[in-house]
Amino acid sequence: MDTRGVFGLERSSSGKSLQIVIAGISNLDVVFRPESKSSNMVANKRRIEARSWGDISHQPVLAVHGRQDNAATFNHLIPLLPRGKYHFLCIDLPGHGLSSHFPAGLLYRVLTDYIITVRKVVDHFKWRQVIYMGHSLGGLVGYYFAGAFPELVKKLIVIDIMSHSNLPTHHHTELIRHYYEKLHEFEEKSLTKQPPRYSYKEALSRVITGRPSELSITSAKTLLTRDLKQVSEDRYIFCKDQRVKFLVFPIISNEQHMALLSSVRCPLLLIMGNQSSLKNFALAQELLQMFKKNCEEFRYFVVEGGHDLHLNNPEIVAPLVTNFLNSLKSSL
């Protein structure tokens, strides 16, 4: 994504829509709906789509989804949160949901592409400080973003990810080769084959069976609202870019990774599901102790649920998030 440009703001005279113009980067058009607002940012004919709740003048909460998910992942949780004081903006990361895909020949990189995307959204709205909420991959991006730009993150909320487990350093060259081979395989298939088409029932089944833990039918249907494009009667293709399946995580050791996370200083809420395998991160105890030592405030909860606890059990997650949002402590 081209991230050069100068920011400007235009408001429509009707008061029903908000147009934000980023010269050289993107346009964001927010159309008001009764319960939420839909928006998109266009960057060189590529879009970053978003959904928002609440008054745009309130304290911003930027919410970022997990890998292969989209902004709808927060549809069950946010209605249970105190929207009277906060403006929630949930984005589709590039290659996910309704957002555009990267050009051919490129891979999606967590440590650069997605962190830059988040920074550009923050800059776009001229937010002085943001509360960041992320699930899974979105939480990992949040750790990195809070560490790289501590002055911009007021609070950090992470749902079901401790950290990303990295391969030992002697496997790093193999990993680089793996990324190339996956990209080459994808490009070869793209030249000769059209995207697979599914019935709605088949697409729903693929979403449910492809999760690291149980996902309810209701939750799966929610995710599909931003991940399916109908191409004929009861035939659909997935919107997501298949390249996000081999997303490029930082090629660093666990020790280097921990050093990056040691830069997180803001108040942090970490919620893990008791049925999630991700709580078994190899350096979990070391990481928890580090957050307890370094963060201005650290709250850690293990609650009933699997990896998608915020979707399946939002009534369990919401009180923890609400209490943390309304707490007085915040980074300066």
Alpha carbon 225 to its chain's center: 16
- How far apart CA 276 and CA 158 sit, in angstroms, is 14
Q: Which of 159, 164, 207, 148 is nearest to 63 (CA)?
A: 159
Distance, first Cα to last Cα, the chain? 31
The position carrying tokens 């304290």 is 59
**SS percent in the chain: helix, strand, coil, step 5:** 35, 25, 35
DSSP readout, 114-161?
IHHHHHHHHHHTT-SSEEEEEETHHHHHHHHHHHH-GGGEEEEEEES-
Catalytic, out of 99, 136, 219, 276: 136
Query: The tokens of 206 are what?
Result: 């693929």
Alpha-carbon dihedral of residues 58, 35, 325, 221, nearest 10 degrees? -140
Is residue 136 within 8 A of residue 160, CB to CB? The reply is yes
| Alpha-carbon separation of residue 139 from 132, 142, 176 (angstroms) | 9, 5, 24
C-alpha count within 13 angstroms, C-beta hemisphere, residue 281: 20
Is residue 108 within 8 A of residue 243, CB to CB? The reply is yes
Query: The tokens of 321 are what?
Result: 């998030």
Alpha carbon 101 to its chain's center: 15
Length of the chain: 332
Please say whether the dihedral angle defined by the alpha carbons of residues 16, 17, 18 and 19, taken in this order, is positive or negative: negative
Q: Is 136 a catalytic residue?
A: yes
In this structure, are strands 46-53 and 26-32 parallel, antiparallel, or unpaired? unpaired
Q: Tell me which residues are annotated as active site.
A: 136
